[in-house]
């Protein structure tokens, strides 16, 4: 690594190891740095082992239930101070640890004042150098006056750390390295207040957020010019919104709506669900009701169950099935006849099906044109079948790439209502395609849903024998949510094109169209999502792209010894298009 000293180089390589991106040559270089400087290996072992030790020791101690949150997690330097305390750490109770933390807290004056500069100015080796200096001075003092050595629990712990660290160091340089089983995946399930379940013929206002099916909402605005949206709340309440409408998801059991039509279905566990309007508060008691809101008044109609309506200075009004009220902008409430002006659920579902049929028809028409593209190597529609083979729909490329093989698949919900896709849910899940040629340029275009950001990454596309042959590629999503393209130049050189962290909590669980573009003529590597550019870099050393028996959603089965094995795509794919040219935006 030019212009970097050994400490800086080791820090970068350790970071790549912890992110799961360390290559074999880099592992060899890291091992060499460890052998040259014991302090670096000590820093590495501490980073890897500290979290594991703390989790084992303090998340579930005898007599204390496992902690679901670790907001009071100790940092490594605090752990070292505890180890150097008079009482061995293994003998301390969690209360004693907390008290010791309070005494040893870093004074505020020592912390960076500018939070933005904190990351830039942070020296990860500062604490280590201070500790080593203290250890050196302590060793000099001990030489002057030796005492009988007494083995403590902390000594045993340090010995175990050293042994485990040596094992990790050996694993770094082994081709058969496989991620540790205790590295659990970080699952992003239903973490928002609500989620978009269905959309039908929706047009969002230009200056408002545009959402997709499956996307989660948290303190989010929903502004429709037209169309229908169905929301599922974390409390299990459901709501259909008909545009034009404008509302704010306030929390997991409440919304504020300034205009529009709403239909809410509230199960017993969500009793207390609130719809707040400019002139009233509607509190559900386990029921189904309609609300229509405009500048002049809000109309409330109860289909079943009971609803409480609070407005202005008037007393609360309780409504039951078949009753309706109009709440004027002044807060005055008056009873009115039921009107059933809102689209009922059955009609909503019918509208969604009709809209979906239109989208499918439109998509088929577009694909007919795509199939005639002479640069289309392969198109695989994965909306049907979970085993066997899928035919290549390309009119010109199917002679050389006739089909793809599906292995270890299951069926899951597709990106359109009443459609399906293949799910990758095991180490064997993959779509295998044999590419008999090499390519100057290449575009991989696929519709995907990532359901989990895995600690060791999720592979989307991998050439056969990646990391061995020049021109092979690897595409994966890191735990950070970054999309990453790797192009192998030689045994010791790889070029990376990395996007910002786009697949985060907001987008995990939603469908997106991802494009990987390798342009040999313009010497560019590009990443795109949903038609927008994520990252474009200069390709330093263009060469023919080698795919071989490539895998989609996993690494090739032939690469059983590859360090990246088991990083299957935890999610779904329903469409794959591969071109032997660089597609424009």
| Residue 523 confidence (pLDDT) | 96
For the ranges 165-179, 288-302, 494-508, 552-566, the lowest mean pLDDT is seen at 165-179
Maximum mean pLDDT: which of 66-75, 268-277, 332-341, 449-458: 268-277
Backbone dihedral region of 289: left (phi > 0), alpha (psi from -120 to 50 degrees) or beta? beta
Which comes out higher in pLDDT, residue 169 or 420?
420
Residue 37 has pLDDT above 90, yes or no: no
**What CA–CA distance (Å, rounded) separates 435 from 469?**
15
Residue 286: per-residue pLDDT: 81
The arithmetic mean of pLDDT across residues 457-462, rounded, is 92
Is there a contact between 198 and 242 (Cβ–Cβ < 8 Å)?
Answer: no
Q: What is the 3-state secondary structure (H, E, C) of 302-369?
A: EEECEEEEEECCCCCEEEECCCEEEEECCCCEEEECCCCCCCCHHHHHHHHHHHHHHHHHHHHHHHHH
22 close to 33: Cβ distance less than 8 angstroms: no
Predicted pLDDT at 50: 43
| pLDDT, greater one: 395 or 456 | 395
Structure tokens that stand for 194 in this block: 């609500």
For position 177, what pLDDT does the model report? Answer: 31
Question: What tokens were used for 146?
Answer: 């030796």
Q: Tokens standing for 481?
A: 């949510």
* SS3 (DSSP) at 300: strand
Rg (CA), the chain: 30
pLDDT tier at 79 (50, 70, 90 boundaries)? very low
- pLDDT, averaged across the chain: 75
Q: What is the mean pLDDT of residues 209-223?
A: 86
> Could you tell me the end-to-end alpha-carbon distance of the chain, in angstroms, rounded to an integer?
35
Q: Which two tokens mark 548?
A: 């071989």
pLDDT of 294: 83
In angstroms, the CA 499 to CA 87 distance is 48
Give the pLDDT band of residue 453 (cuts 50, 70, 90): confident
Q: Are 403 and 389 in contact (CB under 8 A)?
A: yes
The answer on pLDDT for 382 being more than 60 is: yes
pLDDT at 484: 95
Lowest mean per-residue pLDDT among 309-318, 323-332, 562-571:
562-571
Please write the tens of the pLDDT for every residue from 15-31: 666 556 677 677 777 77
Tell me the backbone φ, ψ of residue 380, rounded to 5 degrees: -120, 120
pTM (2 d.p.)? 0.59
DSSP string, 12-42: HHHHHHHHT---HHHHHHHHHHHHH-HHHHH
Lowest-confidence segment of 235-244, 284-293, 349-358 by average pLDDT: 349-358
What is the spatial distance between Cα 317 and Cα 306, in angstroms, rounded to a whole number? 10
Alpha-carbon distance 390 to 404, whole Å?
5
User: Which one is predicted more confidently, 34 or 375?
Assistant: 375
> What pLDDT is attached to residue 92?
57
Task: Calculate mean pLDDT across residues 68-88.
Answer: 44
Lowest mean pLDDT among 258-272, 328-342, 447-461: 328-342
Q: Is 135 helix (H, G, I), strand (E, B) or coil?
A: helix
Name the band, by pLDDT with cuts 50, 70 and 90, for residue 581: very high
Question: 367-376, pLDDT tens digit by residue?
Answer: 888 899 999 9
Dist CA 8 CA 5 (whole Å): 5
Model pLDDT for residues 534-549, shown as the tens digit of each residue: 999 999 889 999 999 9
In this prediction, residue 94 has a pLDDT band, given cuts at 50, 70 and 90, of low
**Tokens (6 digits) for 419:** 């459609």
Work out the percent of the chain whose per-residue pLDDT is above 90: 27
Q: Which residues of 351-362 are buried (b: 16+ CB within 10 A; e: fewer)?
A: bbeebbeeeeee
Tell me 108's DSSP state.
Answer: G
Beta strands in 123-220 (DSSP E): 186-187, 194-204, 216-217
Residue % of the chain over a pLDDT of 70: 66
Joined tokens for residue 101? 């933390």
Best CA proximity match to 289, nearest among 274, 298, 308, 302: 302
Q: What pLDDT is stored for residue 538 in this prediction?
A: 95
Q: What is the pLDDT of residue 352?
A: 77
The pLDDT tens digits for 149-176 are 454 555 545 555 555 554 444 444 333 2
What tokens were used for 118? 């904190």
Give, as one character, the DSSP assignment of residue 105.
P
Higher pLDDT, 47 or 288: 288
């Amino acid at each position: 690594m030019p212009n970097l000293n050994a400490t800086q180089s080791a820090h970068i390589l350790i970071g790549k190891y912890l992110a799961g991106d360390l290559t074999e040559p880099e592992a060899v270089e890291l091992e060499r740095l460890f052998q040259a400087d014991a302090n670096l290996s000590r820093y590495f072992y501490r980073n890897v082992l500290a979290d594991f030790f703390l989790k084992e020791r303090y998340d579930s101690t005898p007599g204390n239930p496992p902690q679901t949150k670790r907001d009071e997690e100790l940092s490594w330097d605090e752990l070292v101070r505890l180890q150097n305390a008079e009482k061995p750490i293994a003998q301390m109770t969690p209360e004693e640890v907390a008290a010791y933390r309070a005494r040893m807290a870093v004074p505020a004056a020592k912390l960076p004042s500018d939070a933005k500069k904190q990351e830039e100015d942070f020296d990860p080796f500062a604490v280590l150098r201070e500790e080593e200096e203290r250890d050196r001075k302590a060793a000099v003092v001990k030489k002057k006056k030796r005492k009988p050595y007494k083995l403590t629990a902390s000594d045993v712990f340090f010995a175990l750390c050293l042994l485990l660290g040596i094992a990790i160091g050996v694993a770094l340089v082994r081709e058969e390295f496989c991620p540790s089983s205790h590295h659990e995946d970080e699952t992003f399930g239903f973490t928002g207040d609500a989620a978009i379940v269905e959309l039908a013929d929706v047009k969002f206002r230009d200056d408002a957020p545009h959402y997709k099916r499956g996307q989660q909402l948290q303190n989010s605005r929903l502004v429709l010019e037209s169309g229908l949206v169905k929301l599922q709340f974390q409390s299990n309440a459901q709501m259909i919104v008909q545009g034009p409408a404008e509302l704010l998801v306030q929390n997991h059991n409440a919304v504020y709506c300034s205009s529009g039509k709403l239909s809410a279905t509230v199960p017993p566990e969500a009793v207390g669900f609130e719809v707040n309007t400019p002139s009233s508060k509607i509190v559900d008691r386990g029921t189904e009701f309609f609300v229509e809101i405009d500048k002049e008044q809000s109309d409330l109609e109860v289909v079943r169950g009971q609803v409480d309506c609070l407005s202005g200075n008037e007393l609360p009004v309780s409504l039951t099935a078949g009753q309706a009220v109009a709440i004027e902008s002044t807060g005055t409430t008056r009873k009115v006849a039921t009107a059933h002006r809102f689209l009922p659920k059955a009609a909503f579902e019918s509208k969604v099906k009709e809209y979906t049929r239109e989208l499918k028809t439109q998509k088929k028409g577009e694909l007919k044109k795509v199939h005639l593209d002479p640069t289309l190597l392969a198109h695989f529609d994965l909306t049907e079948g979970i085993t066997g083979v899928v035919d290549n729909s390309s009119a010109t490329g199917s002679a050389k790439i006739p089909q793809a093989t599906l292995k270890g698949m299951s069926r899951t919900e597709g990106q359109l209502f009443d459609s399906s896709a293949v799910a990758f849910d095991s180490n064997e899940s993959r779509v295998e395609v044999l590419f008999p040629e090499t390519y100057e340029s290449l575009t991989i275009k696929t519709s995907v849903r990532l359901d989990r950001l895995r600690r060791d990454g999720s592979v989307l596309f991998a050439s056969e024998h990646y990391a061995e042959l020049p021109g092979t590629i690897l595409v994966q999503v890191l735990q950070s949510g970054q999309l990453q393209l790797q192009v192998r130049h030689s045994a010791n050189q790889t070029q990376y094109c990395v996007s910002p962290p786009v697949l985060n909590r907001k987008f995990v669980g939603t469908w997106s169209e991802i494009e990987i573009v390798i342009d040999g003529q313009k010497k560019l590597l590009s990443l795109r999502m949903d038609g927008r550019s994520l990252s474009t870099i200069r390709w330093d050393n263009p060469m023919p792209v080698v795919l071989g028996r490539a895998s989609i959603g996993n690494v090739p089965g032939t690469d059983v010894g590859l360090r990246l094995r088991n990083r299957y795509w935890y999610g779904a794919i329903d469409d794959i298009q591969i071109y032997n040219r660089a597609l424009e935006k």
